[in-house]
Amino acid sequence: MEIILKSFDLIFSFDDSLYEIIFLSLKVSILALLISIFLGMPISALLAIKEFFFKKTLKIFFNSMMALPPVFVGLFLYILFSKSGPLGFFEILYTPIIMVIAQVIIILPIIVSITTDKLESIFNEYKELFHILEANDFDKILSVLWDARFSMLTCIVAGLGRALSEVGAIIIVGGNIIHYTRVMTTTIALETSRGNLTLAMSLGIILIFIALILNSSALILKFIAVKASYE
């Protein structure tokens, strides 16, 4: 109980080092999420409305990638971008840039897989109408994306939660460097091993608080979607 009280004291003391870690975590995760949305939504829409030879293969690929171990992602990127690796000349290992890349690889399959299922369901409802109106692919994509907007927001919230909770890949490629690549999850792992439970607990409480906000937002969005007849 004493550790918990000290943790709350640290949180409300607005310690610079604590909030530096929190803001870096949010910056990296939100940037990774935005990139994943930018890449994932067009892929999801195309998978939903188009029929092509490798469609099932691509869907299986993205569904399988949802279970990809984060530590493997970290190891793969480490080998790829290390000084002796084929992309080592970029010199982004142990920087926030490669942390963003790692999180994109982890959450992009979540965005694509979950969103594709929803868009396919909506597209099947409107397929005959699209045929009657002779709608082109661009109009179809805009229509299904707009109709699924609340459901996609729920998926986006889930993706952000996954990004914020990631530790395995981030600690490998980021190196957990103080004032540069140290985020909440990696700090919790480090400070727990050091015995600094107050700081670790403070960040754990912040993570739980963020998770509650994200889950509450997801429930509210789902309720709005139901009320708007999008479910």
The domain spans of the chain are: 2-11+20-227
* Distance separating alpha carbons of residues 156 and 29, to the nearest angstrom: 12
Tell me how far CA of residue 74 lies from CA of 23, 58, 145, 169, 221, in angstroms: 22, 23, 32, 4, 33
Regions in the chain scoring below 50 on pLDDT: 230-231
In this prediction, residue 231 carries a pLDDT of 47
Determine the topology of domain 2-11+20-227 in CATH: MetI-like fold (1.10.3720)
Query: Nearest 5 degrees, angle CA 43-CA 157-CA 206?
Result: 140
Q: Residue 209 CA to chain centroid, in angstroms?
A: 17
Integer Cα distance of 194 and 187 in angstroms: 10
pLDDT of residue 229: 55
Distances (CA, A) of 51 to 26, 54, 56, 99: 38, 9, 9, 35
Would you give the DSSP letter of residue 85? S
pLDDT for 225: 67
What pLDDT score does 185 carry?
93
Q: Tokens standing for 27? A: 């910056």
Give me the count of residues in the chain: 231
Question: What confidence score (pLDDT) does residue 228 get?
Answer: 61
